[in-house]
Every structure is written in C-alpha cells, then in structure tokens.
Structure 1
C-alpha cells in the first residue's frame, strides 16, 4: 500500500525545461500543478477529516440530551442503533479518513513533491552560464535549491490541510451553534472577524521578516561553506580568527533579523490568547444564559463548550501554521530570486549539432568587454587553420583566457562572430560545441568522486582498459594504484576529495590530462596545462601532449614560453588585441615584444612587462 501511494508523484519527472515564472504564485503553481492529481483528493480528504472531528463534538451534545431525557432501562433499546453509528464513525470512518490523509501527505506528497522541485530547479540552475556561478556563493545557491523544495511543499500542504481544515471546522461549528440558537453563534462570529483582523495585520509583517531572514540564512550558509571550501588558504594564512569574524558578522545579522520576526510572532500570539479567552467566556456565558431561559438544551451547552475549547486549541496551531506558511513563502520567494533567472547564454531556436570535419577556427572582428566600457577583447580577428597549433602569449589580463572562453561560448560575443569549420557557434547547441573541444586548464578541479569517474568524465562509455590507457599516457599509472581513501577504496575506486584536494597539484593535472586524452576531441585547448607539473614530469608528458595534439587544432596558453615555443604559430596579445604573430623563430628574429619576453624570462616564466602596442 505504501508503494502504491509513493508511486503517485514521480520525483524525477523532468517537466518542461524552461525558466520558472518570477512571480511567487505562478512560480509555486509551476511545480504544484505536476502533483495536482494527488493534491485534489487531499483537499477532499482534509475536508472529510474536519467534518468527522466536528461530528464527534456533535455526538457528545446528542448523548448529553439523550441521557437527560431517556430512562436508563430504555437507553439502548431506543438509541442502540444511534450509538452503533456513532461508534462506527469513531472506530472505522475516522481512522480510514485519517489513514488516507496521512498516506497522501507523507507518502505521495512530502518526499516526492519536495524532491521533484529540487530536481527540476537543480536541472535548470545547472544550465546557467559560467558567469552566473562566478557571481554567487556555491553554498548559497545549493542552500536555496535544498530549501525551496520543502518550503514550497510545506506551504502548499499547510494551505490545504490547515486553512481548509479550519474553514470547514469553523463553518460547521457556526452551523451547529446557529441550529441550537442564533445567539449562541454570535461570539464565534465576532471571534472569526477578530481572528482574520489579527492575521491581516501580522502575517504580511511576518512574511516580510521571513524573507529577509531567509536571505540572511543563505548568506550565513554561503560564508561558512566558503570558508570550508577554501580551508587550505585559511590554514596557510593562519586566519581562523578572521574567518570567525567573517561568520560572526553573518550570524549577528541573521540573529537580528530572526529576532525582528519573532517579535511579530510573539505579539500575534498574545493577541490570539486575548481573543481566545474572550471567546471561551462569552460563548459559555451566552450558553448558560440561553439555557436558563430554556432556549437551548444542556447538550447544546456541552457541544458549545467542547467546540470552543477545541477551537481555542486549534486556533493557536492554525496561527503557527499560518506563520509557517508565510515563513515558507519567504523562503520560496528568496529561492525564486536565484532560480527564476533567465539564461545569459542560450541555444538559438532550432540550434543544430556542431559538425567538425576539419577543425578550423575563425574569430571575425570579435569584441567583448564583460559589460564594461573598453578593454578585454577589441575588434579581434584571428584564423586558426585546421590542424594548426597556435600558442597565445601575453601578460595576465591581455585577453587570452577570455578568447578561449568565447570559443567555448561561456559568454556570447558583443559583436563579431566565432566560427568552427564555417559554422557560427552561436547557431549550434552548447553541448555539441563543448563536446568537440577538449580543455586542460591551469586550475584543475576534480569531482569528489572516484578516479575512474573523473577520468571517465571524458568518455562516459569508456571501460577500465581505456581508462588505464589514458592514465598511462598521462604518466598517472605510477601513483593511481597506490591511492587509498578514508573508506579503504583503492586505485580507480579511490575518491579524490572535494576539487581533488587529496591529490597533489601535479597529480590532479595528470588526471585532468588523462580525462581529455580519453575524450579525444578534434579541437584542443591547453590553458597552462602543465603549469602544475614539475620539470621532470613535464618533460616526460610533453611527448604525450605531442601525441594528443596530433591531427587536432590546438590553442595553447602558457606563461612558460618554452612549453609553446614549438607551436606552429604564436600570437602575442596585449590589451585585447593581437600585436604580433609568427613562429617562435620568426618572432625571435623580428626582435619585437616576443623576443624581449623570451630574453626577460626568469626560470622559464613570463615576467611582468609594460604594455606595448605594435
């Protein structure tokens, strides 16, 4: 039975891969509608549970009147069937209704809808541009994905469960009171008006404070995760106390905003206690006065007393539920700010697959400035012939890495075009574009998974034999068999830690090179690919890089000029422009910027230089 109810909502339903709405109600409906076949019967069952609960109090009133009016020897003869019906409602109908309610909430809605929201928001966010992730804390983004799912689900379930429940309960109580005597219903009607006024006054304030507090909580999470992610830097600079202060600021901010919200909640609950006391006193007073005048029976007084005590207890619960709803709505609204953002880089409508026959690359009058005025890439044109190996040279900030990022379409050019084999990369899918380009970067980041999974990232279908072949070619086979992680996993099964922290810089770089060797893409980008390797390993791996580059179009960036001197052509960049181009020998003979860089290198690295224009 559990499995049946758990199958009603698929937590991994992909839905439509589109930007979620950026208005709160529409944002919530975007996900809730996918579980509506379950939420609809939940509405009905919740109403049924509330009616059954009210009917139990009505039974008490009826029993009191029956006992008053019926001789003991006639009690079961006259009312046995009535008592059996009451017992059936309490023993059979009520448990069945509550069982259905629990199964729908706990099996059908809570786990599945929560993770459906997480799954779909994660899938959408994962496809955001690189710049999106560079402009925010990874921890804060992850926190919003994790929090938005349960907050949205809890808000919806509470709206159905609590508000629907109290509406049915209050309406039924009013009907029963009015049926006994209209005056008996007056205190409850006044209480309902006062209750709504309290909600109207306090709930928007609580919602505002909840949104502010949720943002502060995400900031606190982001700061703590940032410290943990960069723990090596924290340790190296002995800045634990500085990180304490960084977290303390966020905790102080969060505490202040939390307290502001709780002040509103305390005031709201005090107001509720006052009107509840008045409801109890006036209802019982009115009941006794009406009974004294023979307007109602003792059973009606018992019914009224029982219901107002129940409403008194329930109203506090409802107030907390309503507060929780708006606190959750604040969390959802805050999550929506990160989740419901348009993609900065999108595939063109009907984008096709990139077909790389030869691997020629052309930059046609490309300009890009990261939204700034001037600098970075200005009206740059460059053609890389199929199979040609081009080295990009220039000091930091010259635009080398930006040019590579434009080729990978991490950003869209502001003007001009980038072509691969005559195809505008803006007109093909991003997946097919990046699938055709192998990249080894300076700042190698490995996934916190096994060595096998990290290398196989280059070719998901590769078997262990192909993985070991790539590891041998990258000179990684000497250390991989000896790797052991905390759980005793060895070799290919050993996990490398977050971002590969359990490996040395050189080991991480060799695993990354193995990954690209396995990918075997027709275009290769080497961005400081051997910067983390010592001279001996670099010399050993150069031959494998030569083999890797064989038959491919290559763009290589290196401050260590000796690593790219053997390229077919070198392109010297300065301030987003090409200032020299030619082979190593040609540029040395020319005696220009490159020649002076070559002469000024110390230890094989590019030294600082003043900007020059050819």
Structure 2
C-alpha cells in the first residue's frame, strides 16, 4: 500500500526546464503544479478533519444535556441512533480520513514534491553560463537549491495544513456555538478579530527578517564550504585561524537575523497568549452569568468553554506554524532571486545540430569585453584551416583563453561571429557545438567519482577496454593500476576525491587528456594541456598528443614554447591583437618578438615581463 502511494507522483518530471515566474504564488505553483491533484486531496481531508473535530464538541454538549435530563432506563433506546452515528464518526470516519490524509501527505507529497522542485532547479541552474557560476559560491548555489525546494514544499503544505484547517475550524466553531447560544459567539468573534490583527502585524515583519535570515544562512554556508573546497590552500598558508574568523563573521551576521526574529516571536507569543486568556475568561464569565439567569443549558456551556479552551491551545500551534510558514516564505523569496535569473547564453530558436566535416574555424571581426568598457578582444579576425594545428602565444591577459571560451560559446559575442565549417556557432545548439570540440584545460578539476567515470565522461557509452586504451595513450594507465582509495577500491574503480584532490596535478592532467582521447572530437583545444607535467612525462605523452591531433583542427595555448614548435602555424597575441604569425622556424628566422621570446625564455616558459621588454625593444 505504501509503495502504491509513493509511486503516484513522479519526482523527475520530463521536459526542458524553463525560467520560473517571479511572483511568490506563481513561483510556488510552478514547482507544485505536478502535485496539484494530491494537494487538493490533502485540503479536502484537512477540512473534513476540522469539521469532524468541532462536531465532537457539539456531541460533548449534547451528552451533557442528555445525561442531565435523561432517564437511565430509556436513555439508550431514545438516543441510540445518534450515539451510533457519533461512534461511527469517532471510530471509522475520522480515523479513515486521517489515514488517507497521512498517506497522501507522507507517502505522496513530502518526499516527491521537494524532489520535483530540486530536480527542476538543478537542471535549470546547470544551463547557466560561466558568468553565473563565476559570480556565485558553489556551496551557496547548492544551499539555495536545497533550501528553496524544501521551503516551497513547506510553504504550500503549511498553507493547506494551517489555513484550510483553521478557517474551516473557526467557521465550524462559530456555527456550533451559535446553534448552542448565539450570545456566546461575541467573545469568540472578538478573539478572532484581535488574533487576525496580531498575525497581520507580525507576519509581514517575520517574512522580511526570514528572507534576510535565509540569505545570511546561505552566505554563512557558502563561506564554510569555500574553506573546505580550498582546504589545500588553507593548509598551505596556515590560515585555519583566518578561515575561522571569515566563517565567524558570516555566523555573526546570521545570528543578528536570528535574534531579530526571536524578539518578534516572543512578542507574538505573549500577545497571542494574553488574547487567548481574555477570550477564555470572557466565554466562561458570560456562560456562568447566563446560567445563573437560567437562560442557557449546561450543554451549551460545555460546548462554548470546551471550544474556547481548544482555541487557546490551537492558537499556539497556529502561531508556530505561521512563524514557520513565513520563515519558509522568506526562504522562497531569497531563493527566487537566484532561481529566476534568466540564462545569459541560450540556444537560438530552432537551433540545429552542428555538423563538422572539415573543421575550419573562422573568427570574423569578433568583439568581446566581458561587459567592461575597455575591450579584451576588439575586431579580431582569424582563419584556422581544416586540419591545421595552430599555436597561440602571448602573456596572461592577451586574450588566448578568451578566444577559446568564445569558440566554446561560454559567452556570447558582442559583435562579429565565429564560424565552424561555415556554420555560425550562435545558430547551432550548445550541446552539439561542445560535442565536436575536445578540450584539455590548464586547471583540470575532476569529478568526485571513479577513474572510470572521469575518463568515460568524454564518451559515457565507452567500454572498459576503450577506457583503458585511452588511459594508456595518455600515459596514465601505469599509475591508475596502482590506485587504491580509502574504501579499498582499486584501478578504474578508485574514487579521485573532490576536484581530483587525491591525485597529483600531473595525474589529473593525464586523466583529462585520456578523457579527450576517448571523446575523439574533430576539433581539439589544448589550453596549457601539459603545464602540470614534468619534462619526462611530457616527453612520454608528446607523441600521443600528436597522434591525437592527426586529422583534427587544433588550437593550442602554451607558455612553454617548446610544446608549440611542431604546430603548423603560431599566432603571437597581445591585448587581443595578432602581432606576428608563422611557423616556429619562420618566426625565429624573422628575428622579431617571437624570436626574442624564444631566446630569452628560461626553462621553456613565457614570462610576462619578457613580452613587455620585447615590446619596448621593438618600439
């Protein structure tokens, strides 16, 4: 039975994730819509439970009146139908409705509903541009996904659980008391008015402080996660104490919002309790006064005082539920700021898949500034012929990596276009574009998964034999065979740790190279691909890299100029401009800037000051 209910709601809805709306109600509805029929079921059950519980108080009053007047010998005969009816309500009706309500709430909704939101949020965020992730803590993004998905569920469920139950209960209560004695309704109505006024005053303020608290919590969590993510740097500089202070500042800011919230909650609690006590006193006093005047039955008194005592306890529950509701509302508002940001880089309407037959790359009057006034790339043009191996040379900030990022369409151009085999990359799908380009970057981060998963990321359907062959071609198999992780998993099954922390820089680089070997894309980008390798290992895989380049269009970036000597053409860049071009031999023979760099270079690396001095000499 539990399994049947658990499978009524699909936690992973299909379809491409779209931009959520910004309004609170519409935002929550966007993620709750798949669960709408079951939410309606919970609302109906909640209303029935509220009516049933109020009816029990009416039954209590009737029993008091019956017992005070009835003849013991004829009581059961005369009241049997109503007693049986109430027995069925108590023993069958209410337990059945509560069981259905609990099954829907716990089996259908509480697990599946936040997973729907979490799944959709995660898929949408994955499609954001590099700019989005460059501006956010990874821990903060993950925290927002977890917090907001749960807050949506809690917000919707508490509205149904509290609002529907309370409204139904109060309406039923007023009706029941009115049927017993209309005069006793007055203090209850006054109580409701005062209670609503108190809630109306505190709720908006609690909502605001809860939003501030959710943001402070995300910031605090992001700071803590940032320390863990960069633990090697923390240890290297012996800055555990500094990281403590950094985290403590975030905790202090979070505590400020907590104290603000708790002050309001205390005032809220005291005022509600005082209002309850006054209502109970008023109902009790009026009841006794009317009884002394002989104008009210004992049963009516039992109903009124019983319900007054019930709302005294229930109002406390409502207060905490409303506080929790608006804490969740605040969290949703905070999460909406991130979740409703539109994607910077999107596929064009009707974008087709990129097809690469030759591999020609054309930069046609490209302009890109990273949103700044001063340009990184300004009116840049370059043609890389099919199958040509081109090396880009230049100091940091010359625009080399930016050109690679634009080719991969991590950012959209401000002007101009980039063509691959005559196809504008802005008009093809991003997935198909990147599937045609193999990349090994300078900063190689591996997934916290097995060696097999990391290498096969280039081609998930690859067999173990193909994975091993790629590892061997990247000169990585020898160290992979000897790997053992903390759970005793070995070889391809060994886990690499977060960002590949359990491997050396050279080992991570070789895993990344093996991944590109396996992907076997027609266009290859090497961004400092051998920068983390020592000379012996670099020499060992150099031949494999050239083998990988066969038949491909290659763009390689390196500060170590010796790695570019076999390129068909070298492009020397500075501030986004081409200042020299030719083969290694041609540029050395030319005696220009590249030749001077080659002669000045120590240990095969291009130093930033070398280019500065060379430019000054050229001038």
Instruction: Tell me the distance in 2 between the aligned counterparts of 1:586 and 1:373.
Output: 37
1:373 aligns with 2:392: no
Worse-matched range after superposition: 385-394 or 585-594: 585-594
Specify the SS of the correspondent of 2:608.
coil
Gaps of 5+ in 1: none
The match for 1:495 is 495
Specify the SS of the correspondent of 1:73.
coil
The match for 1:401 is 401
TM-score by length of 1: 0.99
1:250 aligns with 2:250: yes
Q: What is the deviation of 1:608? A: 2.2
Instruction: Tell me the distance in 2 between the aligned counterparts of 1:257 and 1:576.
Output: 47
Give yes or no for contact 1:15–1:120 (8 Å, CA) kept in 2: no
The match for 1:107 is 107
Instruction: Tell me the distance in 1 between the aligned counterparts of 2:295 and 2:350.
Output: 77
Q: For residues 145-192 of structure 1, what are the alpha-carbon distances to aligned partners after superposition, in whole Å with 9 as ceiling and x for unaligned?
A: 011111110110110111110111111111111112221000000000
The match for 1:550 is 550
Q: For residues 38-59 of structure 1, what are the alpha-carbon distances to aligned partners after superposition, in whole Å with 9 as ceiling and x for unaligned?
A: 1111111110010111111111
Q: What is the deviation of 1:284? A: 1.0
1:358 aligns with 2:394: no
Q: What is the deviation of 1:80? A: 2.5
Instruction: Tell me the distance in 1 between the aligned counterparts of 2:25 and 2:302.
Output: 43
Specify the SS of the correspondent of 1:390.
strand
Instruction: Tell me the distance in 2 between the aligned counterparts of 1:23 and 1:567.
Output: 55
Give yes or no for contact 2:181–2:300 (8 Å, CA) kept in 1: no
Specify the SS of the correspondent of 1:20.
coil
Q: What is the deviation of 1:285? A: 0.9
The match for 2:226 is 226
Q: What is the deviation of 1:401? A: 0.2
Aligned length: 614
Q: What is the deviation of 1:533? A: 0.6
The match for 2:119 is 119
Q: What is the deviation of 1:81? A: 2.8
Q: What is the deviation of 1:295? A: 2.2
Q: What is the deviation of 1:16? A: 4.8
Instruction: Tell me the distance in 1 between the aligned counterparts of 2:104 and 2:294.
Output: 46
Instruction: Tell me the distance in 1 between the aligned counterparts of 2:569 and 2:486.
Output: 47
Q: What is the deviation of 1:403? A: 0.4
Equivalent positions of 1:155-304 (< 5 A) are 155-304=155-304
Q: What is the deviation of 1:15? A: 4.4
Specify the SS of the correspondent of 2:478.
coil
Equivalent positions of 1:464-613 (< 5 A) are 464-609=464-609, 610-611=611-612, 612=615
Give yes or no for contact 2:451–2:493 (8 Å, CA) kept in 1: yes
Worse-matched range after superposition: 292-301 or 202-211: 292-301
The match for 2:79 is 79
Gaps of 5+ in 2: none
Q: 1:598 to 1:389 in 2, by over 3 A?
A: same
The match for 2:38 is 38
Instruction: Tell me the distance in 2 between the aligned counterparts of 1:279 and 1:6.
Output: 43
TM-score by length of 2: 0.98
Give yes or no for contact 1:50–1:165 (8 Å, CA) kept in 2: yes
Instruction: Tell me the distance in 1 between the aligned counterparts of 2:533 and 2:560.
Output: 12
Q: For residues 531-572 of structure 1, what are the alpha-carbon distances to aligned partners after superposition, in whole Å with 9 as ceiling and x for unaligned?
A: 001111100000000000000000000000000111000000
Give yes or no for contact 1:206–1:326 (8 Å, CA) kept in 2: yes
1:390 aligns with 2:390: yes
The match for 2:441 is 441
Specify the SS of the correspondent of 1:479.
helix
Give yes or no for contact 1:206–1:327 (8 Å, CA) kept in 2: yes
Give yes or no for contact 2:174–2:188 (8 Å, CA) kept in 1: yes
Instruction: Tell me the distance in 2 between the aligned counterparts of 1:496 and 1:572.
Output: 37
